[in-house]
Amino acid sequence: MDVTARATMRPTRVDGRAALVELGLTTAFMATVFTLVRWGIGTMGARATGTELRIRVIVVSVLVGLVIVGFAASPPGRFSGAHMNPAITVGLFASGSVPARRVLPYLAAQTAGSIAAAAVTRLCWGPAVAERPVRWAVVQPGPGWGGLSVTLAEAATLAVIVAVMCVVAARRPAWPLVWIVGGLFGLQGAVLGTLTGGSANPARQLGPAVFSGEFRLLAAYLIAPVAGGVLAGWATAGVRARRRARDTGERPDHELEGAALPGLR
């Protein structure tokens, strides 16, 4: 690797500050999500029906989507891009929208934020966080859902979300992407929450799994979203390259360094 290549891989001070902001955002966001699970799901009675569970999951998922919008539209979110999700970071890197030097700092920040959020939630809400049905807000698949089906669903979910982010940013920059992305995450949680668990974010499962000791299908929840995001990033980058080759007079698409939600910065 030559000197120029090493320089492009070395995070700048701005990258370091962005990663610290990403750490704070991920911690606060995941603590909010775990809190919503604690009060939205953890207050169910022992005789709660499946219908009540589905309604509660839908409500929690809608609130999570709105929280994503709020965090992404905030000044810190506009600064770092408010990824709060390793699959988004890696997917946007694969699409050419995030520089390589930000990937590892962001992944480290999101990993630490997930674990810190679980600890903060326990400090805030006490032993109830570790007890059933909350169990540290760990994600579990529903009956009949195994490793393959969860893997495919998690990968497909992130593939769709990353593809939408890339296409809207490049072709429809005036659209409210922050609301679109928040809506997509809320929708996937509402639809898949009682089926696959509706994680769609490695940071969503990592902290709860570490504290609860529940590692069932952990590899699927950690790897599948990243794989789906990477595939979507590569696909959109390939389409963009072919379009440019076909029509060299077209204005180049915007490539926003560090922005998971283009248009907010």
Q: Is the pLDDT of residue 262 over 70?
A: no
> How does pLDDT run across 235-251, given as a tens digit for each residue?
999 988 888 888 775 55
Would 259 be classed as within a structural domain? Answer: no
Chain-centroid distance, C-alpha 51? 27
Would 75 be classed as within a structural domain? Answer: yes
Would 251 be classed as within a structural domain? Answer: no
Would 253 be classed as within a structural domain? Answer: no
> 143-162 in b/e burial notation, b at 16+ Cβ within 10 A?
eebeeeebbebbbbbbbebb
Compute the average pLDDT of residues 165-180. Answer: 94
Q: How far apart are CA 63 and CA 58, in angstroms?
A: 9
Compute the average pLDDT of residues 147-156. Answer: 97
| Residue 138 or residue 258, greater confidence | 138
Question: Terminal CA-to-CA distance of the chain, rounded, Å?
Answer: 32
> How does pLDDT run across 29-48, given as a tens digit for each residue?
999 999 999 999 999 988 88
Per-residue confidence at 210, pLDDT binned at 50, 70, 90? Answer: very high
Q: Among candidates 87, 69, 20, 40, which has minimal Cα distance to 233?
A: 87
| Residue 77 or residue 7, greater confidence | 77
Q: How far apart are CA 216 and CA 256, in angstroms?
A: 37
pLDDT at 6: 53
Helix axes 147-171, 86-95, angle to 10 degrees: 50
Work out the percent of the chain whose per-residue pLDDT is above 90.
82
CATH code at 38?
A: 1.20.1080.10
> How does pLDDT run across 34-86, given as a tens digit for each residue?
999 999 999 998 888 999 999 999 999 999 999 999 999 999 999 999 999 99
Q: How far apart are CA 30 and CA 208, in angstroms?
A: 10
Q: Among candidates 214, 224, 69, which has minimal Cα distance to 139?
A: 214
Would 236 be classed as within a structural domain? Answer: yes
Beta-carbon contacts of 8 under 8 Å, excluding residues fewer than 6 positions away, are 99, 100, 101
Q: Among candidates 176, 162, 166, which has minimal Cα distance to 263?
A: 176
Host domain of residue 131: 3-246
Would 254 be classed as within a structural domain? Answer: no
> How does pLDDT run across 93-126, given as a tens digit for each residue?
999 999 999 999 999 999 999 999 999 999 999 9
Q: How far apart are CA 130 and CA 182, in angstroms?
A: 28
Token pair in block for residue 218: 């952990």
Q: How many domains does the chain have?
A: 1
Q: How far apart are CA 30 and CA 203, in angstroms?
A: 8
Angle, CA 169 vertex, CA 165 and CA 173 arms, to 5°: 135
Would 260 be classed as within a structural domain? Answer: no
Unique residue bearing structure tokens 């698409």: 253
Compute the average pLDDT of residues 199-221. Answer: 96
Q: Are the C-beta atoms of 58 and 191 separated by less than 8 Å?
A: no
> How does pLDDT run across 181-196, given as a tens digit for each residue?
999 999 999 999 999 9
Would 223 be classed as within a structural domain? Answer: yes
